[in-house]
Structures are given as structure tokens and as C-alpha cells.
Structure 1
């Protein structure tokens, strides 16, 4: 059995060579399996070092998974924005305060949106009647008494007094 010293914990002959291993990666609820990986695993600390070819395949699969997750989130943002009948510019002005170029990159899956923005969009997807409240708040309404509660069919909401 091939052994070598672990670079992480320093255990002499702690690393043993393996072949034919599979690993499942998970990103944002999406999974990808990579089979027939080979490399070294430390029996003391559990550190794994992939062989060059396995490292390349493992890294590529991980990158593809991250890109797919970003595109899925971008498509969700676009669907919600359209459901709310908002342009990218209106959505930026109302919800994020950033630039419309950044929002376009979110929707194309080039970059991940801030967690708070994604959470707010998902809440508006679930409770679209709150969009009116968001617009009232964005217009600078006085929060110290400018609102009264209004009953909607399903939910309670704020309106400008």
C-alpha cells in the first residue's frame, strides 16, 4: 500500500492512496456526482488530496454546479420581477438601491444577489400584495404614524394614512 506524509497534520505515512472513489457535491440544493476519483487520504485527519486528473474533473464539476445554481437563482429573480410587473430599473430603485447593471448580472446568473435581496423577492413572490407597502416605504413615508393597518382578503397590510 502506498503511503506518504500528510501535509496538513504532518502524520508520517498518514496518507494512503485510493482509486475509484465517488463523491457527491451539493450547492444550493443541487447535486452533482463525480465518480472514479483517485488521490490520497490521511488516516489521521481525513484530509484528501486529489490526483491531478481527478482534481481537474472534481473542480470542473464543482464550477459547473455553482454556475447552474447561479443561473437557477437568476431565472427565479427574473420570474418574480416579471410576476410583479416591474422593470429591472424599477426593481433596483425599489428593492436594492444598486445599479441596474448589477441586477442584470443577477438575472443572467453571472453573480449571486445579496441574500437579503433574494429573501425580499421570495417574500414578494409569496405575498405580492406587499409590493404596495414596499413602494410606500420607498417613497420616504414617515414611519412614526403614517401607516394604518388595512385588512386584505388573506393578509394584513400597511397603507399610507
Structure 2
């Protein structure tokens, strides 16, 4: 049975590969996953991993996401405390729900770039917090 490419829909049979190493990247971090197998489209190069390889590749990506969440949460916690804000006050500044900062700081949710950028600015200019509280 021919494997049709899901990307370009080329009718040529996708070519099997095995033992390859691929790199997963997320927000500047990367992880190397070795010994992957699957199929590659000879026309566009699209890769379709077999089930076991796809699972390992996805786990590596998930680990990068979780590490990025933990790092962002730690940074936000440090800045929030520096500014003397509790989590509810920090959530109000960013327009989030009452427990948004709890979810950011525990790594359950990835904070948006806008939240991270705002708090990085406030880290450099803490005098602006009072102005934002009044707005």
C-alpha cells in the first residue's frame, strides 16, 4: 500500500528511514532525539514518524515546554515579589483572572509574551507599578 504525503499529497510512495537523529526546538531551547524511524516524502521532505518515534519526539518537545513554563514562572514570581505584589494584584495588572499568576508561577499555564514583557519592564522600572494600579 502506498503512503501518500499528508503535506504535499504527492502520490509517490514515502520512503522508510530508521536510526535518524532529529532536534526538537522550543523558544531557543533544544533537545536531541536519537534513533528515530518513520517515513519521508521524496518530493517535499515531510517526515512522518512511526508511533514509538513520534511518542519519544513529542515527549522531548513536552519536556522543553514544561522547562520553559517553569523558567517563566520562576522569573515572574521573582519580579512580582520584588514589586511587592500578591498574585491577585499581579493578575489585575495583566488583565488575567484572579488566579492567573498562580497558574503561571506553578507552570500549569504558559504566560503570554505580553505578560512576560510587562513584568520585565516593571523589573527595570518598578516606579511604574503605582501608575498601572491606578489605570
User: TM-score over 0.5 for the alignment?
Assistant: yes
1:23 corresponding residue in structure 2:
22
CA deviations on 1:3-38 (whole Å, 9 max, x unpaired) are: 943232333334111111111111122211101101
Rounded Cα–Cα distance in structure 1 between residues aligned with 2:73 and 2:65: 12
Rounded Cα–Cα distance in structure 2 between residues aligned with 1:136 and 1:126: 15
Quote the RMSD (CA, aligned, Å): 1.9
- Residues 43/82 of structure 1: CA separation in 2 closer, same or farther (3 Å cut): same
Deviates more, 1:11-20 or 1:28-37: 11-20
* Superposition TM-score, scaled by structure 1 size: 0.75
2:115 corresponding residue in structure 1:
117
Segments of structure 1 that go 5 or more residues without pairing to the other structure are 141-161
Deviates more, 1:24-33 or 1:104-113: 24-33
Q: In the alignment, is the contact (CA less than 8 A) between 1:4 and 1:16 conserved in 2? A: no
Task: Confirm whether residue 138 of structure 1 aligns to residue 133 of structure 2.
Answer: yes
CA deviations on 1:64-84 (whole Å, 9 max, x unpaired) are: 111111111111110111121
In the TM superposition, residue 47 of structure 1 has moved relative to its aligned partner by 1.3
Larger strand proportion, structure 1 or 2?
Answer: 1
Q: In the alignment, is the contact (CA less than 8 A) between 1:41 and 1:47 conserved in 2? A: yes
Moved over 3 A (4+): none
Segments of structure 2 that go 5 or more residues without pairing to the other structure are none
